Amino acid sequence: MSKSGFIPAHGKYRDLLSYQKAEIIYDLTYHFCRRFLDKRDRTVDQMVQAARSGKQNIAEGSSASAMSTETELKLTNVARASLEELRVDYEDFLRVRALALWEKDSREARFVRRLGTAAALTYETYRPFCETRPADVVANIAICLIHQACYLLDRQIRRLEQDFLRKGGIREQMTRARLDQRKHSTV
């Protein structure tokens, strides 16, 4: 519980590494679509919306966390599902063009993972690679980032589950706070 009451702290989604990765994925996807896809292609809207959904649902879930663990879990899962949808779009892009998909432990994938340890994690870290390299490289960078974000979201979901089991939901916390208040108040 927070010091001011029973409602827990919430809404600090910009501090979440999963959100930071999702924001980079959104920016990368926006630029990827502008560079490599015909703006009339329906895939452009699908990819940008999936990237946006990943980012926005993390923010919305975090903001809703104070009043509903269920909503936070649901939205975090939606964010993960949206990013998985986007990963498949990037893989489809590579497959239909007969372009290589990097192996998980390839030199290139390991390089992208190392970039992800930068102190200031923003699109600027990836911009020199995403805006100068060919489509197959940029698509693979996006896939690597999506794998990282999904890994982080999986950990976040497990943590939310553990917190719920340990503390309960908001209704249980409200009941405990009310009973505690009654116990300590003087009549």
Kindly give, in sequence order, each residue whose CB lies less than 8 Å from that of residue 97, ignoring residues fewer than 6 positions away: 135, 136
- Res 8: pLDDT: 53
- When pLDDT is averaged across residues 36-50 and rounded to a whole number, the result is 97
- Res 120: pLDDT: 76
- Res 167: pLDDT: 73
Q: Is the pLDDT of residue 182 over 60?
A: yes
- Res 71: pLDDT: 86
- Res 186: pLDDT: 59
Which helix (H) or strand (E) is 31 found in, with range?
helix 17-36
Give residue 184's pLDDT band: very low, low, confident or very high (50, 70, 90): confident
Q: Is the dihedral of CA 111, 112, 114, 115 positive or negative?
A: positive
pLDDT per position as a tens digit, 116-138 = 887 678 999 999 999 999 999 99
Residue 80 Cα distances to 20, 83, 122, 140, 186, angstroms: 14, 5, 19, 18, 49
Q: Would you call 5 helix, strand, or coil by DSSP?
A: strand
Kindly give, in sequence order, each residue whose CB lies less than 8 Å from that of residue 113, ignoring residues fewer than 6 positions away: 144, 148
pLDDT per position as a tens digit, 132-163 = 999 999 999 999 999 999 999 999 999 988 88
Q: Would you call 2 helix, strand, or coil by DSSP?
A: strand
- Res 2: pLDDT: 45
Give residue 166's pLDDT band: very low, low, confident or very high (50, 70, 90): confident
pLDDT per position as a tens digit, 71-127 = 899 999 999 999 999 999 999 999 999 999 999 999 999 999 999 887 678 999 999
